[in-house]
């Protein structure tokens, strides 16, 4: 038996055992140690304010592994947006460091994409939807035929097949955020960072967008870090939650979310374990 049950790994890298020779467990190479896609190491951020310093983030460390869906929750003003800006390379921490695949982040890494809450400011109103999604691919000099194919693929993935010829202002807020997500995913980032991406839409649309992002994670295998103040949303989406304390923030706790997948807006939210996790995180956030 020389085959492998891991469909992603061919036999090219397999150890040189003779065909038909059973491989004992102790002879198999040890599984490689998991290395994080993203890491925050003692991130500390202070802003200069009125001649003084305002500490937004005190000391935050955590890691995110390939394929994970990690949510960051904390009270308003806890420094969630500040942390996300440091993680994305848009702003350096005052001390400590952030790493993408082991490399210190000093600018936005190519394999990282960010989606913000304010979709109306992230899309170009004078460009049609397809052009908005295509833009980063043009910057990357992706050939025209491939650009077109990827735009179609991503618009279909966010439920907007056929909407490429419309202008953003002809779409609802939820649809505009779908366009922003399609654009963020068009050049196939490994890591998607999202800052309160569903905070500006109504509750029903929010549920739809949550399910859409879970499906995209399944279909494209992208690693996701999503910042939200909404504890229910974090529990619904995440594999793991980084719970921040009040500002100046530290990590209050890293909480695993073992709820079964696929998640379902009615079934999952009615699971007694969901209520238990939500209460636990609420206590951490409020210090109650
Ligand atoms: P959250 O996203 O958790 O609400 P923020 O990261 O937006 O928190 O803000 C954390 C703290 O840092 C807040 O007190 C905020 O007023 C302050 N802050 C954020 N950005 C700046 C800035 N550019 N200059 C000065 N203070 C800032």
Q: Residue-wise pLDDT tens for the chain (288 aa)? A: 333 333 332 333 333 333 444 445 555 555 556 789 999 999 999 999 999 999 999 999 999 999 999 999 999 999 999 999 999 999 999 999 999 999 999 999 999 999 998 877 889 999 999 999 999 899 889 999 999 999 999 999 999 999 999 999 999 999 999 999 999 999 899 999 999 999 989 999 999 999 999 999 999 999 999 999 999 999 999 999 999 999 899 999 999 999 999 999 999 999 999 999 999 999 999 877
Q: Residue 180 is inside which H or E element, if any?
A: helix 173-186
CB of 94 closer than 6 angstroms to any ligand 1 atom: no
Q: Given this model, what pLDDT does residue 42 score?
A: 98
Residue with CA at minimum distance from ligand 1 atom 26: 47
CB 37 within 8 A of CB 65: yes
- In the three-class reduction of DSSP (H, G, I as helix; E, B as strand; rest coil), residue 63 is classed as strand
* Domain identity same for 182 and 201: no
**Strand 52-64 relative to strand 38-49, pairing:** antiparallel
Choose the final residue of a domain: 173, 188, 203: 188
Same domain, 143 and 196: no
Cα-only R_g, the chain: 21
CA atoms within 13 A on the CB side of 263: 29
Cβ–ligand 1 distance for 80 under 6 Å, the answer yes
Residue 33 has a pLDDT of 64
Domains: count for the chain = 2
Q: How far apart are CA 161 and CA 5, in angstroms?
A: 35
* CA 38 to ligand 1 centroid distance, Å: 22
Sheet holding 69-73, edge to edge: 103-104, 95-100, 38-49, 52-64, 249-256, 240-244, 69-73, 223-227, 191-195, 112-115
Q: Give a yes or no: residue 168 inside a domain.
A: yes
Q: Find the domain containing 99 and state its range.
A: 49-111+189-288
Which one of 45, 53, 79, 252 would you pick to mutate in the ligand 1 pocket, going by the greatest count of ligand atoms within 8 A of its CB? 79
């Amino acid at each position: 038996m020389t085959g492998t049950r891991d469909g992603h790994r061919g036999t090219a890298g397999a150890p040189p055992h003779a065909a038909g020779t059973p491989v004992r467990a102790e002879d198999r190479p040890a599984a490689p140690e998991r290395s994080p896609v993203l890491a925050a190491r003692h991130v500390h951020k202070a802003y200069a304010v009125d001649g003084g310093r305002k500490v937004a983030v005190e000391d935050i460390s955590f890691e995110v592994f390939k394929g994970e869906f990690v949510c960051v929750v904390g009270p308003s003003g806890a420094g969630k947006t500040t942390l996300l800006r440091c993680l994305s390379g848009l702003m350096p921490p005052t001390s400590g460091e952030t790493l993408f695949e082991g490399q210190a982040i000093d600018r936005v890494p190519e394999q990282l994409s960010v989606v913000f809450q304010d979709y109306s400011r992230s899309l170009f109103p004078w460009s049609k939807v397809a052009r908005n999604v295509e833009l980063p691919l043009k910057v990357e000099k992706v050939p025209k035929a491939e650009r077109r194919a990827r735009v179609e693929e991503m618009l279909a993935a966010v439920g907007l097949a056929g909407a490429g010829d419309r202008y953003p202002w002809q779409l609802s807020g939820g649809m505009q955020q779908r366009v922003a997500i399609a654009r963020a995913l068009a050049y196939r980032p490994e890591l998607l960072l999202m800052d309160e991406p569903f905070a500006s839409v109504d509750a029903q649309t929010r549920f739809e967008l949550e399910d859409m992002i879970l499906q995209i994670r399944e279909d494209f295998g992208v690693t996701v870090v999503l910042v939200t103040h909404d504890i229910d949303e974090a529990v619904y989406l995440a594999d793991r939650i980084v719970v921040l304390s009040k500002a100046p923030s530290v990590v209050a706790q890293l909480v695993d979310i073992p709820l079964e997948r696929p998640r379902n807006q009615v079934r999952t939210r009615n699971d007694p374990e969901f209520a238990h996790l939500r209460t636990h995180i609420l206590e951490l956030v409020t210090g109650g």
